[in-house]
Every structure is written in structure tokens, then in C-alpha cells.
Amino acid sequence: MIRLQNIEKVYRTDTIETLALNSVSLDIAKGEFLSIMGPSGCGKSTLLNIMGLLDAPSKGDIRIDDQKTEGMNDKQLAAFRNKKLGFIFQSYHLINDLQVLDNVELPLLYRDTTAKQRRELAAEALEKVGLANRLKHFPTQLSGGQRQRVAIARAIVGRPEIILADEPTGNLDSAMGNEIMEILLNLNRNDGTTIVMVTHDENMAHKTHRLVRLFDGAQVQ
């Protein structure tokens, strides 16, 4: 599903050159739930951003669903992200001025869908994460766990084949973290969604199919 070959990422300033990823190669199969672990600054999020086409590698090759992403223009990248990928972030990234339903609808706004379809799909996604009774609430009226569930609903509303989750339980207590993890596991199990999750939590990581460890930008496990 996702194939990374010899990925290198170098950040350059006028005076300093930082190697964030050093020749990372990964093959992630369709329907796999992979977790990435490693100390802060080891390149986990950079790797996730590269997989999510939010950042470009300095070297190396990326293929997602057998499609080479190199050379895609902004419009093609945006369309690819919209259709194939779903994102979940540690800090949720919800728009506080929009109601829950409108937040979930967001990815569909960049697709050719009617308002009615958008509403129906968003409501369905929210029902899946157990928030069918919070459609008209604003994010500020929800708990952290509920907010992350809204973010998951937003990530799955477009029915992507891949979900990229950057520390989805990082801001939550263990009970809420487990709830979120359960939802992700169900998505993987029941819908066959490929999930790549960055986490600091060993317990969460051990619930996934495979664990990859990074250290100083290199894959150590």
C-alpha cells in the first residue's frame, strides 16, 4: 500500500544542515496497522508527513497504492490527499468556529459532493465514532476524547484507504486514549483501513500489527 525506499530528509538553514531521516525504507501492506515509535526529534512526524505528502523527501522514492508521487503538482497532491489519505493529529486541529458536523464535512468540501451527501456522510462518520448526539456542538463544548473522535470522524468521512495518525492519544488520559485506540482498531479490523500511527505509548504500539522504531532519523527496528 505504501512503499518508501531510501527516504532521506535534510533540513537546511544558512549555517546548519540537519538530517531528519536517513535512508528509511518501509513497506506497509494494505490493511496493516503500523505504529512508529522513537524519542522526540527522531523523525517520526517527519516520516508521517512524507507519507502524507505534506512534506517532500530530499531523496528517495514514495509509492502509495502503486502510484509514484514524485512530480505531482499541488493540485494533484491535494486531490490525492483528499481521496486516499485521512489525517489525525495530536492536537485535533478542529475549527472552533464550526460545529462538529461542519468540521467533519470539511474534506468533502474539496470534492464534488452535494450538501445533502456531505451531511449524510458526516453524520454517518460521527455515528461510527459514537458522537451522533453532538452534531450541533462546537468543539469547545467537547472533552478532549470527544474532540479526537470528531477528528477521527473527519479523517474517515471521505472513506480513505489510509489513515495517518500523529500521536492521536498523546493529549488524552489513558481511559480516553484506550477509547480512541479501540476506534482505530475497529476501523482497521472492520473496514480494512491501513493505519500508520506515531505514538510514544508502548501499550498502544503493541496493540498494532507491527512496530517500527526510529532513532536519529534511522530505522532501528
Partner 1 sequence: MFKHLFKLIWNKKKQNFLLITEMLVSFLVLFAVFTLMMYYYNNYKKPMGFDYQDVWVINYNNSYQTKNVDSLDLYYETLRKTIKSLPRVKEITFVSGNIPFSSRTNESGLTFRGKHVQHLNNFTVEDHYEKVMNVTLLEGRWFNKEDVVSKNQHIIIDADLKEATFGKESAVGKLLGNDDDKNKFKVVGVIQTIKRNGDYLKAGPGMYFRTDTGSFRWLDKILVKVDHGADAAFEGKLYKTMANYMKNANVEIEHLVNKRTDANYFALVPMIILAIVSAFLVINVALGLFGVLWYNINKRRGEIGLRRAIGATGKSVAAQLVSESMILATLALIIGTFFAAQFPLLNVFDLPAIVYIEGILLSVLFVYLLVLICSLYPGKQAAAIYPAVALHEE
Q: Tell whether residue 60 is a contact of partner 1 (CB under 8 A).
A: no
Q: What residues does 85 pair with on adjacent strands?
A: 162
The span from the CA of 126 to the CA of 152, in Å, is 9
Question: Residues 91-110 vs partner 1: string with x where CB under 8 A?
Answer: x-x-x-xx---x--xxx-xx
Q: Tell whether residue 87 is a contact of partner 1 (CB under 8 A).
A: yes
- Of the candidate residues 5, 19, 31, 54, the single one contacting partner 1 (CB under 8 A): 54
- Of the candidate residues 10, 19, 72, 79, the single one contacting partner 1 (CB under 8 A): 79
Task: CB nearer to partner 1: give 93 or 210.
Answer: 93
Task: CB nearer to partner 1: give 15 or 140.
Answer: 140
Residue 114 in contact with residue 68, Cβ under 8 Å?
Answer: no
Q: Which residues contact 117 (CB under 8 A, 6 or more apart)?
A: 108
Q: Tell whether residue 49 is a contact of partner 1 (CB under 8 A).
A: yes
Of 99, 89, 83, nearest in space to 137 by CA: 99
| CA angle 8–213–11, rounded 5-degree value | 30
Task: CB nearer to partner 1: give 109 or 132.
Answer: 109
Q: Tell whether residue 35 is a contact of partner 1 (CB under 8 A).
A: no
- In DSSP notation, 49-90 reads HHHTTSS--SEEEEEETTEE-TT--HHHHHHHHHHHEEEEET
Q: How far apart, in Å, are the Cα atoms of 6 and each of 3, 18, 27, 44, 152?
A: 10, 17, 11, 15, 30
Residue 165 in contact with residue 184, Cβ under 8 Å?
Answer: yes
Instruction: Give how many residues touch partner 1 by CB under 8 A.
Output: 29
Q: How far is the CB of 109 from partner 1 (least distance, A)?
A: 6
- Of the candidate residues 45, 148, 169, 193, the single one contacting partner 1 (CB under 8 A): 45
Nine cell digits for residue 94: 478542529
Q: Which residues contact 169 (CB under 8 A, 6 or more apart)?
A: 148, 176, 177, 180, 181, 199, 201, 204
By CB under 8 A, the residues from 128 to 167 that bind partner 1 are 154, 158
- Of the candidate residues 24, 34, 37, 81, the single one contacting partner 1 (CB under 8 A): 81
Q: Tell whether residue 117 is a contact of partner 1 (CB under 8 A).
A: no
Q: Tell whether residue 219 is a contact of partner 1 (CB under 8 A).
A: no
- Site residues (CB under 8 A) for partner 1? 45, 49, 52, 54-55, 74-75, 78-79, 81-83, 87, 89, 91, 93, 95, 97-98, 102, 105-107, 109-111, 115, 154, 158
